[in-house]
Structure 1
Amino acid sequence: MKHLNKLVLSILLGMSVLSLPTVASELERLDEPQQPKYKASVAVLVDYVATPEGMWGVTFAPRHFDPAYSSWGYYIGYAKGQKTDIAVPEPAESFMKEYMWRFGLSYSLTKDLSIYGGATAYTYETHYTNNIVHPIEGPGGEPTWEKNRDRDWGAEFGLRYNVYQGFTLGAGYDTRNKAGVFSIGLAM
């Protein structure tokens, strides 16, 4: 039994010594810089979110600069709607504003086609007067304005396609607003 242990130990030691050049060449190969699957770029896009009032915005979408993760990217965007008057009985006044932050990850399926998905933070503000004028201001005074703000979270997903030399089109869907998100821009 003692001879068998020495034999096994000798074989294992010999195999270890013989495999050292292979391990060294593997380590050298890992140290070599990897060629990225896709070229790093940043897309700057103008967005339209098809809510009832409509919102316009901008999105920045970098494709990852790390060669090991060149298929991955991320994005952040902001869209804002116009101030819209709300019909209320006179002499009251009221208007609403809406805006939305968008952020998430993207993954390149091919050189020109990528999918994206992420979260949206939609904010809806209502501004209104309470028809109360402070007695100190007198009959010509201004009424007090009040504001309500609601923030809801949602998700979005979509596609981006590089049509020609950086000209990029995008189409997506926002679950919070149940609305399309359409983008056009340039990738540099």
Structure 2
Amino acid sequence: MLKPLLGAVLLVGASPLLAADQTQGPSPKTAITLDYIPAESALYGITLAPSHYDRNYANWGDYLGYAQSQKRDIEVEAPSEAYAQDKLWRFGLSYGLTDHLSLYGGASAYTHEYSYTNNISPRIVDGKPTWETERDTRWGGELGVRYRLGRHLVLGLGYDSASQSALFSLGYSN
């Protein structure tokens, strides 16, 4: 009983300090965007891009993004099955040139997965064939710009060398 009460008192006591700190200097922002990458197969994803909470580095931020394509069935000799899927991980730093315009750049990993069955299924009731997966990962870099329209709408445009494709983003910023 004492620990929750003490936690509540500390939280209430710290609220004015947090509010006072937010009135000084630029406030940190966070953007969340939906991404489209027209690579070998269209990838759709999401990116989280917070700016730093350190007032000394208010123009700097970072981002983390993930995108994947839909599974594409591949024609193989029956009774085998196969499909392919692409995935893209992105991470890096961003720098705000103005309150509305920022540049970003970082690393990316583009993975092409090929999954197939080996035509061998266990001799049991409802036995399923064994799936095997081959992965090929290409590392690269990316560079782009993000522009905040109005108060909350964010548009982004960039190029990713791992997927050798453009990157389009549309999202929300606080």
State TM-score, norm by structure 2. 0.79
Between the two proteins, the alignment pairs up a number of residues equal to: 151
Distance apart, 1:51 and its partner CA: 1.4
Is 1:74 matched up with 2:74?
Answer: no
Match 1:168 to one of 122, 135, 154: 154
Tell me the alpha carbon deviations over residues 91-137 of structure 1, each in whole angstroms, 9 at most, x when there is no partner: 32110122111100001111110000001122221111222345x45
Structure with the largest fraction of strand: 2
Q: Which residue of 2 aligns with 1:100?
A: 88
Please show how residues 1-188 of structure 1 align to structure 2 within 5 Å: 36=25, 38-134=26-122, 136-137=123-124, 142-188=128-174
For the structure 1 residues 68 and 141, does the alpha-carbon distance in structure 2 shift closer, same or farther, using more than 3 Å as the test?
A: closer
Equivalent-residue separation in structure 1 for 2:81 and 2:156 (angstroms): 38
Which deviates further from its counterpart, 71-80 or 86-95? 86-95
Tell me the alpha carbon deviations over residues 125-156 of structure 1, each in whole angstroms, 9 at most, x when there is no partner: 1111222345x459x96443211122221111
Q: Which amino acid aligns with 2:115?
A: H
Equivalent-residue separation in structure 2 for 1:111 and 1:66 (angstroms): 16
Q: CA RMSD in A?
A: 1.9
Structure 1, gaps ≥5 residues long = 1-34
Equivalent-residue separation in structure 1 for 2:49 and 2:124 (angstroms): 51
Equivalent-residue separation in structure 2 for 1:176 and 1:155 (angstroms): 7
Where 2:56 maps in the other structure, the secondary structure is: helix
Distance apart, 1:40 and its partner CA: 1.3
Where 1:68 maps in the other structure, the secondary structure is: helix
Distance apart, 1:64 and its partner CA: 1.6
Structure 2, gaps ≥5 residues long = 1-23
Q: Which amino acid aligns with 1:80?
A: Q
State TM-score, norm by structure 1. 0.73
Identity rate, percent: 46
**Greater C-alpha radius of gyration:** 1
Where 1:114 maps in the other structure, the secondary structure is: strand
